[in-house]
């Protein structure tokens, strides 16, 4: 239950303008609304944070262009090449990752995809329908929208810093294997990461 990534091809976005030449990108169709069981009262459905429901700082969507990213967040603090076999959305090992502090976006040509948000420096918020996740979000706050996912939270000890974190997994879409992993420390949300499945 560490940071293992799962890798598979994403093809459904190849008909979107500017993405037509992408070989393998995304299996899920991007929509623009958070679906939470408690928000919509859909008790028979999985709790999900739909990838197209989100906006970073109320401006930058999950899938966007490099121009939109830079126009809203500025120049990245650093640009790093992906290591081989790194689980990612675009299966090109040489594509860069843009870092804003510890918040990261995968880049392919002119396309940018959110990978992880670090809330600790209070620079970022993740906005969804009916919910904003930020450094002030507690596990109890999150539980009000995602009770089932929160009940399945578990402890994970980082072998590097030796700290124990509470992890919560939420599906990215109903019956979909990709997940959001939220990391809490001392009951405060410090990170959310989008993980593809393997």
Q: What is the pLDDT of residue 130?
A: 82
Residue 193 or 173, more confident: 193
- The string of pLDDT tens digits covering residues 13-53 is 333 334 434 333 332 322 222 333 333 333 336 788 988 88
Q: Looking at the domain assignment, is residue 22 inside a domain? A: yes
Q: Looking at the domain assignment, is residue 97 inside a domain? A: yes
Q: What is the pLDDT of residue 48?
A: 87
Instruction: Report whether pLDDT(68) > 70.
Output: yes
Q: What is the pLDDT of residue 78?
A: 97
% the chain with pLDDT above 70:
70
The predicted model gives 168-186 an average pLDDT of 89
Q: What is the pLDDT of residue 180?
A: 95
The predicted model gives 146-154 an average pLDDT of 95
Q: Looking at the domain assignment, is residue 51 inside a domain? A: yes
Q: Which residues pair with 48 in a beta bridge?
A: 171
- The string of pLDDT tens digits covering residues 92-149 is 556 899 999 999 999 999 999 999 999 998 999 999 878 899 999 999 999 999 999 9
Q: What is the pLDDT of residue 86?
A: 52
To the nearest 10°, report the CA torsion of 35, 37, 43, 46.
60
User: Total structural domains in the chain?
Assistant: 1
d(CA 12, CA 9): 10
Q: Looking at the domain assignment, is residue 61 inside a domain? A: yes
Q: Looking at the domain assignment, is residue 3 inside a domain? A: no
Confidence of residue 12 (pLDDT cuts 50, 70, 90): very low
What domain range is 174 assigned to? 12-195
Q: Looking at the domain assignment, is residue 6 inside a domain? A: no
Q: Looking at the domain assignment, is residue 2 inside a domain? A: no
Q: Looking at the domain assignment, is residue 154 inside a domain? A: yes
DSSP string, 140-186: HHHHHH-HHHHHT-EEEE-TTT--EEEEEEEESSTT-S-EEEEEEET
Instruction: Report whether pLDDT(171) > 80.
Output: yes
């Amino acid at each position: 239950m560490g940071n293992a990534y799962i890798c598979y091809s994403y093809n459904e976005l190849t008909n979107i303008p500017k993405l037509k030449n992408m070989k393998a990108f995304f299996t899920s169709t991007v929509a623009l609304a958070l679906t939470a069981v408690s928000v919509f009262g859909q008790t028979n459905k999985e709790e999900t944070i739909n990838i197209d429901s989100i906006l970073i700082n109320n401006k930058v969507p999950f899938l966007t262009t490099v121009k939109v990213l830079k126009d809203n967040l500025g120049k990245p603090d650093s640009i790093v090449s992906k290591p081989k076999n790194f689980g990612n959305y675009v299966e090109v090992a040489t594509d860069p990752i843009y870092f804003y502090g510890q918040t990261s976006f995968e880049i392919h040509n002119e396309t940018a995809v959110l990978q992880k948000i670090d809330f600790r420096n209070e620079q970022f918020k993740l906005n969804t329908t009916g919910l904003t996740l930020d450094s002030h979000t507690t596990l109890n706050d999150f539980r009000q929208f995602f009770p089932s996912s929160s009940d399945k939270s578990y402890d994970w000890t980082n072998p590097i810093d030796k700290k124990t974190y509470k992890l919560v997994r939420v599906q990215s879409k109903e019956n979909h294997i990709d997940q959001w992993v939220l990391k809490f420390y001392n009951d405060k949300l410090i990170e959310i990461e989008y993980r593809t499945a393997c």
